[in-house]
Structures are given as C-alpha cells and as structure tokens.
Chain A
Amino acid sequence: MEGPMVEVKDLSKQYGASPAVNRLSLQVPAGSLFGLLGPNGAGKSTTLKMLMGICRPTSGHANVLGMDAQTESLKIRRRVGFIPEDKSLYSDMIVRDFLKVYGSFYPDWSATKASELLDHWQIRAGQRIRTLSKGTRAKLMLIAVLSRNPELLLADEPTDGMDVETVEEILSLLLRWISNGDRSVILCTHRLDEVERVCDRIALINLGQTVLDGDLDEIRAAYKLIQASGTLPIAEIRKWPEVAEATMEGSFVSIRTCSHPEDVMKRLRAYSPVQFEIFDMNLREIYLCAVERQGGNSHDRIKTLV
C-alpha cells in the first residue's frame, strides 16, 4: 500500500490518573519489521490494543492500513493479525478446536498451512492448550495468525517463553514473511537483542512517550560514544546540539552523541586531544542515552529491558 501502514499521532491513553500512553507518535512503512521497545509498563501493549480497537484512546489519532482505528476497527481486525501479550489463548480447548474456531472468523484462513506449521513445530492437534508450555502457546498463536495471511502483524512479546533456537526460528520466519515488501510487523518487546538483529525501524518508548523513533541504521550512526582525553571544555561540549551526554573524569571525557558524531569529532579535533576514540553504542545504551536526554530517569525501569 502507498503511505505508512500505521500512522499514530499524539495518541494518549489514561487509566484513571496515570497515563499509559502519552502523546505517542510513530509511523510504520510497508515492508518493515518495526520494533516497539520499552521496559515493562512503557505503554507498548496499550498502544497495540488501541491500534486493534480493543481499548479506546483518550485523545489523539491512529490510522491502520489507511483506516481509523476507532471508527473502522472491525475492518482493521479483518486485515490485521494480533498476537496478544497474554498467551493463555482458549485454554480449555484442544489445539485442533482452537485453530478451527480461530480460522472460522477469517475467510482467507488456510487449514493446510496451519497443519504444515503444526507438523513443523511438532505440536499435537489433540493436545489441550492449558497443558502446552508458554513458548508452545506462543507458537500456536503465531500459527493461527500466519495461516490467514494478514497484511500487518501486531505481535506483543511473540517470543516470550521460547528457547534461543526457537526465537531465532520465529524471527527468521517473520523476516521471510515480510520479504515480499507489502507486509509489515510491529514487534513489541523488551528484548533489545532480538530487535537489534531483525528490525529495520524502531520506536523506543518510555512512560508512554516516544523517546526515539526512526531507521535503526540511522539511529546507530547517530548515537556514538566518543572518548577523548586532554584539555577539553566540558561545559561547552555539553551545549553542542549533537551531544546527548558528556561526562568528565580527570582529563578523560566521554561523549555520547545523538546526531552527527562526525561533526562532534571535527570540533573536538580543534582542541588537539591527546587520545581520541569512537565506539558504537548498543541499543540498551542508546535507549538510556535517549531517555536521559529527554530528562527522564529510567534506571529502575530499564532493568526490565534485556
């Protein structure tokens, strides 16, 4: 489709006095594996539920596949696959019945495809869902959703409870699934390593707000750690617009950039530093840096990001 598959503008959701999502804005283009990242309670699940029309936003606007998430949620649900955070599914049913019930809601659902995936993951059709492990239930939900070929997949912690090998398999499956370019996935997770490997775009959210949003490679290129020593004007460096954070220990300066690290380097060279090195930052460091820059204190909450 032309234009973004998902467009969210100033979306807010308030539960009582506390905001779950606070003026969130993001865009998901077609053919993208989009990582929605944040610690527990950041507002990721609430955002997905608002996109599916499961809960109503307090204010703001969300468009999914060109349709309004509030007024056209039925049409959206026909075309979008959703993997909920709670993978209990219909625990009293057996696998076969669950797939039969789920498939009956979608005319394009393929029982053959579901059967192939069940065989592939060695899930017995006669097994009761409540006896399955958390990881197997997540796989079963993925089987149900992918057997109907949705245009967009909203996956809330889809790899939760899975072993490393299965996680790799699921992520590869999702990458293959979007490879034709007209489907997208929003992968909602607190597992930064997964996102770093497979996502092309990300939105980092904290306390319901977007901390950082964009192409992952561009973000990685913008966020660098520069370490230098010498007589450097730390107070002035902190004022540079490209600098997110700068600390000094003796004559040793650590600078975290949030844009154009090459410009920072150029300006630093003018002060003839003794030692001078530039490092990549991992997503966790980028997240922390972006939250600090926004003025938020995330140290306790970030513990839930792995």
Chain B
Amino acid sequence: MIALKLWYDSRSRFFIGVVVMIVIAFLVLWSFYAVNKSMSHSDAAPNAKIGLQTRSELLKVWSNYETIIDLTWYQGFGATSIAILAIILAMGGPLAQSHSVHLTLSLPIRRYCWPVAQAVLTIGLTVTMLIISTAVLLSVGALMGHTYPPGRAALNLLLCAVPTVAWVGLTLAVGSYVLDKARTALIVIPTKFISVFLFTLPVMRAWDIGRLGRPINMHPDYSWRTLLLLIVFAVGGVVLAVRRFERLDY
C-alpha cells in the first residue's frame, strides 16, 4: 500500500533515470572505441606528449577495457549520474506534496513510515537503475568482444551504489525542512558537486564518501571514516526527516 503510493509517485522519474543511465553507458562504450581508434590511427610518435602523458601511455590505459570501465563508469560518469538520480528520486514523496499532504496524512499509516519507506524505495530503485544500466553496458561490451569479470562487476556495482545512500539521507533531511522539490534540488545537487572538490582538500580527503566507489584509490586507513560519514549522512538524514515529519503540524 505505502510502497504502491510511493512507486506511483516515483516511477516516471525511475524510468527516465534508467534511460539516462543507459545513454551514459553507451557514451562510455562509444568513448572507449572512439579514443582507441583515434589513438591507433594517430600519426604522432609513441613518445609524443598528449596532455601530461605520452601517446603510448595513454594507448596502454585506453586499450584496457576493464580499466576504462572502472574509470569512466564505476568511478566517473556512471557513479556521478547515479548519485544525482538518487537525489532526484528522493526529492519526491509526501513531504514535497503540499497540496495532497492532508489526504496522505489521513491514510491509516504511521507518519514515520513515510520517510522510511521513501528512503528504502529510493535506494532500491537506485540500485535497480544501476544494475539495469550496468548489465546493458557490459552485455553490449561483451557482444563487441570485450569481457568484464562478473565478480568484479558485482563488487564495483555495490561499491558504486553504497555512497548514493548518503545522498538519499541528505536529500530526505533537506526535503523535510524546505518542503519543496525545487528548493531541495537547488540545495542538494550543488552540494553533491561542491563535495567532489571539498573531498579533494587534504583535510577532507579521508572523509570522501565517494571513495568507496573508487576501490583502486581507497586506502585502508581511510575506510572507517568514509563509512562513518556515510552512516551519519544516511541514517542521520532519515532520522531527521522522520523527526521533522512527525512534528510538523499541517
């Protein structure tokens, strides 16, 4: 019942999200083939500098399918896009529907169930979007003769999905205070982008919640801080949203 209501609220955003992720997956594949092709056919000498690296160094990286998928999908566009889509999914729900809030609150459901169910459903839909788009990406890659180890794919997918939980919590918390989708987006989405730069600062680097999605960069010393921040954002955000929703007088 509550899931049905939330699903009807979220489904259009979910389907659009799946399409967006699949488009990004195709862009990742296209960039892999396009860069490889252009560098293979380049007239530049192997030791010629392209940016900071030599042509042969770049060719070595870009010819490795697994590395490119890690860099562009799990740690690049894929990871950033899924976090943004998780924020967009979490922005809806009864908290943001000022016109129908009296009807929603008259339904025989305890108030705390709404933000909790919203968080669970958002995380579930986010992971589903990621699974579908990753499956499309790796299947199309396989059809073109490039394989990616399934175990590594599953682990990276999980590590890529986990940080989105923090953004879901933060979005719910902000949403419960500003009670408006547009204003929530205006606060949370820029915060997501600012955080990318913020976590590059030496003092903040250890707390980078996106670090989980970048296993090759993850230092074991940093992992507990990353996890702590993740839990604070995710659980704290949902708890704040519940408290706010329970206390609001409509």
Chain A residues within 8 Å of B, Cβ to Cβ: 15, 49, 52-56, 74, 77-78, 82, 84-86, 88-93, 97, 100-102, 104-106, 141
Q: Note all chain B residues with C-beta closer than 8 A to A90.
A: 5, 8-9, 97, 100, 103
Within the complex, which residue of B5, B100, B108 is in contact with A91, where a contact is CB–CB below 8 Å?
A: B100
Q: Note all chain A residues with C-beta closer than 8 A to B110.
A: 74
- Contact (A88, B5) CB under 8 Å given A54-B105, A55-B249, A105-B107: no
Within the complex, which residue of A49, A91, A102 is in contact with B102, where a contact is CB–CB below 8 Å?
A: A49
- Contact (A84, B5) CB under 8 Å given A49-B250, A54-B250, A74-B110: no
B201 CB to nearest chain A CB (Å) = 41
Q: Note all chain B residues with C-beta closer than 8 A to A105.
A: 1, 107-109
B4 interface residue, CB < 8 Å from A? yes
CA distance A105 to B4 in the complex (A): 10
With both beta carbons as reference points, the residue of chain A lying nearest to B1 in the complex is identified as: A104
CA distance A107 to B105 in the complex (A): 18
- Contact (A104, B4) CB under 8 Å given A49-B250, A54-B250, A56-B249: yes
Would you list which residues of chain B between 1 and 18 have a CB under 8 Å from chain A?
1, 4-5, 8-9, 12
Subset of 13 A-B contacts with CB under 8 Å: A52-B105, A52-B106, A54-B250, A78-B108, A82-B103, A84-B102, A88-B100, A89-B103, A90-B9, A90-B103, A93-B8, A101-B1, A102-B107
B143 CB to nearest chain A CB (Å) = 37
Asked whether A89 lies within 8 Å of B100 as measured between CB atoms, the reply is: yes
Would you list which residues of chain B between 223 and 250 have a CB under 8 Å from chain A?
249-250
B5 CB to nearest chain A CB (Å) = 5
Q: Note all chain B residues with C-beta closer than 8 A to A84.
A: 102-103, 106
Asked whether A97 lies within 8 Å of B106 as measured between CB atoms, the reply is: no
**Complex interface bits, B67-109 against A, C-beta within 8 A gives 1, otherwise 0:** 0000000000000000000000000000001011011011111
**Complex interface bits, B21-43 against A, C-beta within 8 A gives 1, otherwise 0:** 00000000000000000000000
Chain B residues within 8 Å of A, Cβ to Cβ: 1, 4-5, 8-9, 12, 97, 99-100, 102-103, 105-110, 249-250
B14 CB to nearest chain A CB (Å) = 14
Asked whether B9 lies within 8 Å of A92 as measured between CB atoms, the reply is: yes
With both beta carbons as reference points, the residue of chain B lying nearest to A85 in the complex is identified as: B102
Q: Note all chain A residues with C-beta closer than 8 A to B9.
A: 90, 92
Asked whether A91 lies within 8 Å of B99 as measured between CB atoms, the reply is: yes
CA distance A76 to B171 in the complex (A): 32
Asked whether B107 lies within 8 Å of A77 as measured between CB atoms, the reply is: yes
Q: Note all chain A residues with C-beta closer than 8 A to B100.
A: 86, 88-91
B16 CB to nearest chain A CB (Å) = 14
Q: Note all chain B residues with C-beta closer than 8 A to A101.
A: 1, 4-5, 8
- Contact (A77, B8) CB under 8 Å given A84-B102, A84-B103: no
5 closest cross-chain pairs (CB), A and B:
A88-B99, A104-B1, A84-B102, A82-B106, A77-B108
CA distance A263 to B80 in the complex (A): 83
A82 CB to nearest chain B CB (Å) = 4
CA distance A101 to B9 in the complex (A): 11
B97 CB to nearest chain A CB (Å) = 8
Q: Note all chain B residues with C-beta closer than 8 A to A92.
A: 8-9, 12
CA distance A97 to B4 in the complex (A): 9
CA distance A91 to B97 in the complex (A): 10
Task: Beyond A77-B108, A85-B102, A92-B8, list 4 extra A-B contacts (CB 8 Å).
Answer: A52-B106, A54-B250, A82-B103, A105-B107
Within the complex, which residue of B103, B109, B250 is in contact with A55, where a contact is CB–CB below 8 Å?
A: B250
CA distance A93 to B99 in the complex (A): 14
Asked whether B4 lies within 8 Å of A100 as measured between CB atoms, the reply is: yes
Q: Note all chain B residues with C-beta closer than 8 A to A56.
A: 249
Interface-central residue, B102, B105, B249, B250, by most chain A CB under 10 Å: B102
Q: Note all chain B residues with C-beta closer than 8 A to A93.
A: 8
Q: Note all chain A residues with C-beta closer than 8 A to B106.
A: 52, 54, 77, 82, 84
CA distance A101 to B12 in the complex (A): 16
CA distance A90 to B92 in the complex (A): 12
Q: Note all chain A residues with C-beta closer than 8 A to B249.
A: 15, 55-56
A198 CB to nearest chain B CB (Å) = 23
Q: Note all chain B residues with C-beta closer than 8 A to A78.
A: 108
Q: Note all chain A residues with C-beta closer than 8 A to B103.
A: 82, 84, 86, 89-90, 141
